[in-house]
Amino acid sequence: MDLDDPQPYRAPAWLPGGHLQTVYPLLIEPDDHPYRRERWETPDGDFIDLDWNAHVPPPAEPGADPATGPAPSSTSLRNPLLILFHGLEGSSGSPYARALMHALTAAGWGGGVVHFRGCSGEANRLPRAYHSGDSAEIDWVLRRVRAAHPGRPLYAVGVSLGGNVLLKWLGERGAEARTLVRAAAAVSVPFDLTASGHQLARGLNRLYTRHFLATLKPRSLAKLRRFPGLFDERRLQRATTLHDFDNAVTAPLHGFANADDYWQRASSKPWLRTIEVPTLLVNARNDPFLPAQALPGADEVAPAVRLDFSAEGGHVGFVSGDWPGHLDWLPRRLMHFLRHAP
């Protein structure tokens, strides 16, 4: 794949507006990309599933001790390895994930999609789920990947919710994060969860909230059946906004006082000043999930952070080319930055 830096993003004339630019990628026929699934047991007795591309071979010893991680891959593999953290209710089947993994495979890079708990098609074992501030999970995953692939340049990318968690981890760890990842990128990040949550409760944006709740609510109800008394079922049933849902489910499950407390403590924006890993932020100013005024300015980020905020692109859209369009721009932008990061 050509890793030359693409031109600054410009939306096709045939695809105007943030809503169309957000939704249209769902209609693009994805490249057929095979994955190899690997299940990792977590220290607390749960599991996460990772989907790897063809350039990440299985562990040399399938019975590797879960406490120490999978056996190291062949030391002959020195090509880059990129770990992707998906967005809210996303997976390795999300259009952006498939496009990025296809590009990585074509370029000879290793790639893996980390499924947050309960997002791989099977309910997780514990009452807890996943949330926008769970940087401890990011830390555990990246340390295990680093130990399993010590000879490969390691990069991390997060999208939307996954981007928020990754940035929070980068800011919390500061210089220490450079011992694990060489560079990072985050796409369509809701840096300010309060601003984003209120934005998704307005006008047409409520359709996105309805889309998320269509899977979040049934999944949470199924969890409540397994763990009676975990949270208030009536509050969940009445939830029509993400604020309602986070008040009813996310906050009590993960130790937050309420949705407002969760949004404040989990937002990545306050952590951008302490990031020391070279990091690219890619957001569109017409993203329906976040008002443009909530985007960080140059004075709100560390010197290691580069801002790429295009006028258009929607939420994880960035469609380019003539009709019917393609999703090549974003993988090229990310891979070029990561490859050439200082």
| Enzyme catalytic residues | 160, 287, 315
In one-letter notation, the amino acid at residue 85 is F
Is 241 within 8 Å of 200 (Cβ atoms)?
Answer: yes
In one-letter notation, the amino acid at residue 159 is V
Is 12 within 8 Å of 313 (Cβ atoms)?
Answer: no
Rounded to whole angstroms, the Cα distance separating 71 from 333 reads 32
Other residues' Cβ atoms within 10 Å of the Cβ of residue 80:
20
Is 340 within 8 Å of 80 (Cβ atoms)?
Answer: no
In one-letter notation, the amino acid at residue 196 is S
Is 33 within 8 Å of 51 (Cβ atoms)?
Answer: no
Other residues' Cβ atoms within 10 Å of the Cβ of residue 70:
22
